[in-house]
Amino acid sequence: MTRPMMLAVSAILLLLLTVPVMAGEAATNLSYDVKVMVDNQPVVFPDQKAFINNSSGRTYVPLRFVTERLGAEVEWNQQDKTAVVKKGGKTIKAPVGSNRPTVDGVAVHLDAPVILVNARTMVPLRFMSETIGAEVEWNSAARTVYIKAINESDDIIDEPSDTGKKEITPGSIVEVTADNLNVRNGPGSSNSVLWKVKKGDKLTVIESSQNWCKVKLADGRIGWVSKTFVAVVGKKDQGQTGPESGEQGETDKKDGSSTVTDWTVEEVDGNLVTTITSSGAMVHDIFTLTAPSRVVVDLKGVQPGELPGEIEVESNLVKKIRTGLFSENPSTVRLVFDVNKPVMFNATKGDNGKGTELTLKLYVPDLGTSLKGKVIAIDPGHGGSDPGAVGPTGLKEKDVNMDVGLLTANLLRQNGAQVVMTRTTDTYVDLYQRTKIAGNAGAGVFVSIHMNAHPDASTAGTSTYYRRDDVPGLGVSQQDNRMLAQQIQSQLVQYLNRRNIGLKQANFVVLRTAAMPAVLVEASFISNPEEEALLRKDTYRAKIAEAIAKGIAYYFAQKES
């Protein structure tokens, strides 16, 4: 073999050793029966088809063929093994083997890395398409991804042009007058875009601030839009006369013909139990508010009757209860429980022969003594620039993970544990840093909290992961990993009553780098419409938190037995 040929072969071998490729077991876990349509035209891939990685649930496409169809320029940096995509002044750099591409120099975390297959750079479809300006939809029945390019000329630059001239008051119904209008997370074009609404969409105004208004979308999502691109078309009767306002539950069309006829409050074994009886049907919604901590119960389709305005309560959990008529259309009675500390709650409702009876229990679960003195790391997945999965109506996984993580931490602390959290706000924390935080704190276990996602929206259920392979030097037995996963999964299935997907094994970074027993919880599928709706409810999130906390307690109890 000549020296030049030897050098060429060596270079190829080095490339194969240093660049991640799909092969062996990983390559067999792919589904190639997926079609890609861009602006209703099929994309033909001459040598490497698009596929779904069934392990991650992510759809991969050859980067060049899709991005160029969307009007982007693609370059390949051989030295850095990086694909560079440019469009409209935006530059995306996607290094092969990395799940940290950059967008205009800012790192974005992906749960699935860029990979090389048959000399083609394969990228997670949704990330790349949406980053360069496209709408992506998945049709599970047709096994087809539909990509629609967004015309930048139709994307409203929502800086108001008629400053101070348009009066829109809370309670107004407004209609979008622009083809595409940004919905932002605050008043002002410097705030990030959450979603887009289309011409003709109707929104309910919650608050008005100079040239912006806070609106509620038809599906319940809330954000800010410019007044310049909406027009008032009606008025909604708010009728607020009761306790302070906050996030409301689902709208109910009851006419308020039912009346509260009886209400009892008592403390039972340290728990606060209240029972409300109405003369007819009522719909209830329970949620929490913070700063200060409150539990709020809305009774819809009900008039207050002789309900007292305020009750002082002699309880370790609750200071007082305030009541009032929150809304007249629909008629809604609101009960506000001012609590002394974070509490859990559950409710049961039934027909007592004379009407409807709702029993609400506020409590702090007694998880035994096994948690006392234990150091536990709680890791709310994703955060900051990394939203995680996003549900059909826009619910972000990172927000659910954070809320469940805080609830879980509160429960553990109230039962004697010391809790270290990898994040307590909406910030991004590097995956390797998460287990380092746990290790530095001397944590006895590490629990990462996530919500699952899948291209098939019908997929639903609960699963818990632990490490797949033994990692030398960690000093953590697979027996302990599995025991922790089993205890938490058992409680999740019992509390949530969702499909039991069971225990799974994977070498996620947070599992293979944890120097203590570690699990990753996938509590429910945010991509499933039914489970996304459940994940919006505080009651469901509280169940997830209590199940996780109880599973951890049972793990330590089993270890000590």
397-414 vs 538-560: helix crossing angle, rounded to 10: 50
Helix (H, G, I), strand (E, B) or coil at 24: helix
What CA–CA distances, in Å, run from 533 to 254, 483, 529, 552? 21, 31, 6, 27
Q: What is d(CA 111, CA 127) in angstroms, rounded to the nearest whole number?
A: 11
Active-site residue identified among 159, 306, 328, 522: 522
Nearest to 120 by CA among 56, 70, 157, 66: 66
Active-site residue 75, yes or no?
no
235 by DSSP, 3-state: which? Answer: strand
| Chain mean position to CA 477 | 31
DSSP 483: H
Type of residue found at 32: Y
Of 260, 354, 353, 247, give the one whose Cα is nearest residue 299: 260
DSSP state, residue 229: G
CA 526 to chain centre: 7
Per DSSP, helices labelled H in 310-447 are 397-414, 431-440
Torsion angle, alpha carbons of 421, 425, 431, 436, to 10: -40
What's 152's DSSP letter?
Answer: G
Distance CA 449, CA 381 (A): 6
Does an H or E element contain 194, and which?
Answer: strand 193-198
Q: Count of H helices and E strands in the chain?
A: 10, 37
Three-class SS of residue 465? strand
265 CB contacts (<8 Å, ≥6 apart)? Answer: 272, 273, 274, 311, 313, 321
What sign does the dihedral 351-354-360-361 (CA atoms) show? negative
DSSP string, 258-307: EEEEEEEEEEETTEEEEEEEESS--EEEEEEETTTTEEEEEEETEE-TT-
DSSP reduced 3-state for 478? helix
- How far is 558 from 456, CA to CA, in rounded Å? 38
Closest CA to 323 of 344, 340, 337, 302: 337
Distance of CA 257 to the CA centre of its chain: 37
Could you give the CA distance from residue 259 to residue 255 in angstroms, rounded to a whole number? 11
Query: Annotated active-site positions, please?
Result: 522
